[in-house]
Amino acid sequence: MTVTGDFPTTQGTSADAASRRRLLDQDWQKLVRAGGILALGQVFIALSGMPVNFDRRLLIDPILSLGYLSLIWLPLVVSYWVGREQVLEGMTAYARGGRDVLAGAIAGALGNAGLTLLVVGITHFDIRDPLVNWSPQLLAILHFEESVWLGAVIWPVIGAATGALGGGMHCASTRITRTAVIAGLTVFGAAVLESVITDLSQGFHIEAVSDWLYGPKRGLTYPAAIVVAVAAIAVMAGIWAYRDSAMRAGLVGSRQSPAAPGESDRSRTVWRRFISRRLLGYALVIAAVVVLPLFLGRLTNELLANVGLFILLALGLNIIVGLAGILDLGYVAFFAVGGYSVAVLTSPGSPRFSPEMPWFGALFIAMLLAGLVGLFIGAPVIRMRGDYLAVVTLGFGEIIRILLLSDWLSGTFNGAQGITNIPGVEVFGLATVRGFEPRSVLYLVLFFCAIAIYVSWRLENSRIGRAWMAVREDETVAEVMGVDTVSAKLMAFVTGAVLGSFSGAILSAKVGSVFPHSFAIIVSIVILVVVIFGGMGNIPGVIAGAVVLIGVLGGPNQPGLLQEFAEYKILIYGALLVWMMLQRSEGLIPSVRRAQELHIDEMNQDAWLRAQAEADDATGGGGGNSSVGEQP
């Protein structure tokens, strides 16, 4: 198997004179295809209105706005992708060089010619009617408020430049490209996180930092961007240096190739170090999570509370989808049950039945009800598989919302008007959690997140967790191996339902009101995207997924950091999902096991070796069956 990793690889950079290609020895068909795709992508982005809507949001003060970034990133990515060559074992590796830079530049230029066409087309023909997002501002952005001719010419030039950069990434060593990418992302992150960082520096009374970092229009100032980039590069260099020295001391190396019999002693001490460092890391993270909200402003606390609500939902869905492998598209039902139960039980404004219970009492009943609904939805769908199951759960998710909205139950749930006046949470006379105090909400959310994490973690490593995974892997075989699959799946539904109801219960106390439209299908979909994006079946992955997606883009009804993205949230969720499925189906942070699944690369490798073997056979070469894989 090919070894990939952080080791300096010989692939690509080894200058083998014999295998160097000439500058014009290009795969033209591929370049044209990539250029065409890029052109479509660029025109789509331009006409989606992103450049206009994002133009006011500066990233680096005078030179780069989010609007222009939206037109620059795709050529970079596509031209990098064009130059990707998988060097399989046994193939000749070509030296990378000017040819790759040229390839990237050509693809970039071809792609951005799409924008040229757009500029020329818009000015010469009246195609404004079908293009609803066309606006004079878009044209202004595309030709830099100069002449049309500048706009027409400059985009291919920009495309060639960014494309050369993207293609050129293949020429440098992995370390250099990675460092560059990380530096770029850090600068982008620092610019995007402006409101959080400002908030934090106010909390810590170091406003000077944020004043220095950010200009009046919210972007990083020029020098600040450079400093941030340099700092990121320095950190990366430090990490590489540390890895090198650790590898020389034989530490990292023995982690990669585990426990050859003689080495077991040494690798055990490595393990111990590794574990204790991990524990230390966990302790630090927990401490930070507990202390940080004290220093955060309203806005950030509010944002994090929303993230936390989705962490809860995602952890619950992760048990159903990630562990037990049941594709539940109606998970929002449990969110709704939690929210409405608490609303009815605590609000004095609840129309029919208003016991005005304390929140914790209501939560308890909400959990029971959610568990029951989990059983109720679970029982009929449990015998179904795959597509059928997904469609039926989708239906159930909608049924709950429609019931809440219906005239029939409006005496209890108040139909579209929803239930309002939901009081806050009295924490046993110690404190009151109310929506207008985001910090208290955040602590409540964090408390329940801790519970959900603990529950997921403990259950995953137990009899039921293993049964869930077996059901996910192969339900029939799980059954034959003695797992009661029906009850295992029901337990997954019930556990997931209860965790989801926590989130709903907190939501109604936080917002003070619930409405049926807060529980639409899109909520189910977003939670599913969070789970898939983060890494199915993996707790840290799911949390990271929620932090990144909900934090940056926002939830279906909740704003995120990039409020400019609000209109495009669903578009981006969809695009991410597609990309994730194609390129990285194991998610952002894969669970250990899924990471080891056969990757497309390995399959290509196998296929290639097989083709070689067949070619050999055909020419009367070697006989026998060459098996790929480990030796017995």
Instruction: From 42-50, 90-98, 307-315, 457-465, give the range in contact with another protein by CB under 8 A.
Output: 457-465
What residues between 225 and 244 interact with another protein by CB under 8 A?
none
Q: How many CB atoms lie within 10 A of CB 170?
A: 23
The H or E element containing residue 59 is: strand 58-60
What residues between 554 and 593 interact with another protein by CB under 8 A?
593
CB 299 within 8 A of CB 199: yes
Rg (CA), the chain: 28
> Which CB atom, from 106 or from 324, has the smaller least distance to another protein?
324
What is the C-alpha to C-alpha distance for residues 515 and 415, in angstroms, rounded to an integer? 8
CB of 495: closest distance to another protein in angstroms? Answer: 8
> Which CB atom, from 271 or from 295, has the smaller least distance to another protein?
271
What is the C-alpha to C-alpha distance for residues 104 and 99, in angstroms, rounded to an integer? 9
Instruction: From 28-36, 58-66, 229-237, 596-604, give the range in contact with another protein by CB under 8 A.
Output: 596-604
CB of 484: closest distance to another protein in angstroms? Answer: 5
> Which CB atom, from 330 or from 496, has the smaller least distance to another protein?
496
Instruction: From 71-79, 128-136, 395-403, 595-603, give the range in contact with another protein by CB under 8 A.
Output: 595-603
Among 207, 426, 474, 617, binds another protein (CB under 8 A): 474
CB of 262: closest distance to another protein in angstroms? Answer: 12
Among 19, 462, 604, 626, binds another protein (CB under 8 A): 462
CB of 585: closest distance to another protein in angstroms? Answer: 12
CB of 470: closest distance to another protein in angstroms? Answer: 5
Using alpha carbons only, what angle is made at residue 253 by residues 250 and 256, rounded to the nearest 5 degrees?
155
Nearest Cα residue to 483 out of 315, 590, 367, 325: 325
Rounded (10°) angle between helices 264-295 and 194-203: 80
- Under the binding rule (CB under 8 A), the answer on residue 520 touching another protein is no
DSSP 102-170: HHHHHHHHHHHHHHHHHHHHHHHS--TTT-TT--HHHHHHHTTTS-HHHHHHHHHHHHHHHHHHHHHTT
Among 195, 198, 393, 485, binds another protein (CB under 8 A): 485
The H or E element containing residue 425 is: strand 425-427
Q: What is the size of the binding site for another protein (CB under 8 A)?
A: 41
Among 243, 466, 584, 599, binds another protein (CB under 8 A): 466
Among 481, 571, 581, 615, binds another protein (CB under 8 A): 481
> Which CB atom, from 162 or from 485, has the smaller least distance to another protein?
485
Rounded (10°) angle between helices 332-346 and 485-511: 50
- Under the binding rule (CB under 8 A), the answer on residue 24 touching another protein is no
How many angstroms separate the Cα of 535 from the Cα of each of 490, 545, 546, 567?
23, 8, 11, 26
Instruction: From 7-15, 28-36, 428-436, 467-475, give the range in contact with another protein by CB under 8 A.
Output: 467-475
Helix (H, G, I), strand (E, B) or coil at 56: coil
x/- letters, 247..286, toward another protein (CB under 8 A): -----------xx-x-------------------------
> Which CB atom, from 216 or from 629, has the smaller least distance to another protein?
629
How many angstroms separate the Cα of 473 from the Cα of each of 324, 326, 380?
9, 11, 21
> Which CB atom, from 486 or from 566, has the smaller least distance to another protein?
486
How many angstroms separate the Cα of 131 from the Cα of each of 49, 54, 118, 141, 147?
10, 19, 11, 16, 22
Among 90, 216, 620, 629, binds another protein (CB under 8 A): 629
DSSP 500-562: HHHHHHHHHHHHS-B-GGGG-HHHHHHHHHHHHHH-TT-HHHHHHHHHHIIIII--SSS--S-
> Which CB atom, from 2 or from 48, has the smaller least distance to another protein?
2
How is residue 320 annotated by DSSP? I
- Under the binding rule (CB under 8 A), the answer on residue 469 touching another protein is yes
Among 458, 574, 603, 610, binds another protein (CB under 8 A): 458
- Under the binding rule (CB under 8 A), the answer on residue 193 touching another protein is no
- Under the binding rule (CB under 8 A), the answer on residue 622 touching another protein is no
Nearest Cα residue to 370 out of 329, 340, 392, 404: 340
> Which CB atom, from 485 or from 518, has the smaller least distance to another protein?
485
Among 45, 357, 394, 455, binds another protein (CB under 8 A): 455
- Cβ neighbours for 63, distance < 8 A, ≥ 6 positions apart: 222
Q: How many Å is the maximal CA-CA distance in the chain?
A: 86
Nearest Cα residue to 332 out of 397, 399, 393: 397
Among 236, 345, 464, 514, binds another protein (CB under 8 A): 464
Among 27, 207, 211, 484, binds another protein (CB under 8 A): 484
Among 226, 399, 480, 571, binds another protein (CB under 8 A): 480
What is the C-alpha to C-alpha distance for residues 71 and 138, in angstroms, rounded to an integer? 12
CB of 485: closest distance to another protein in angstroms? Answer: 7
> Which CB atom, from 287 or from 480, has the smaller least distance to another protein?
480
- Under the binding rule (CB under 8 A), the answer on residue 598 touching another protein is yes
> Which CB atom, from 249 or from 481, has the smaller least distance to another protein?
481
Among 444, 478, 506, 580, binds another protein (CB under 8 A): 478
Contact footprint for another protein (CB under 8 A): 258-259, 261, 454-455, 458-459, 461-467, 469-470, 472-474, 476-485, 491, 495, 593-594, 596-598, 627, 629-632
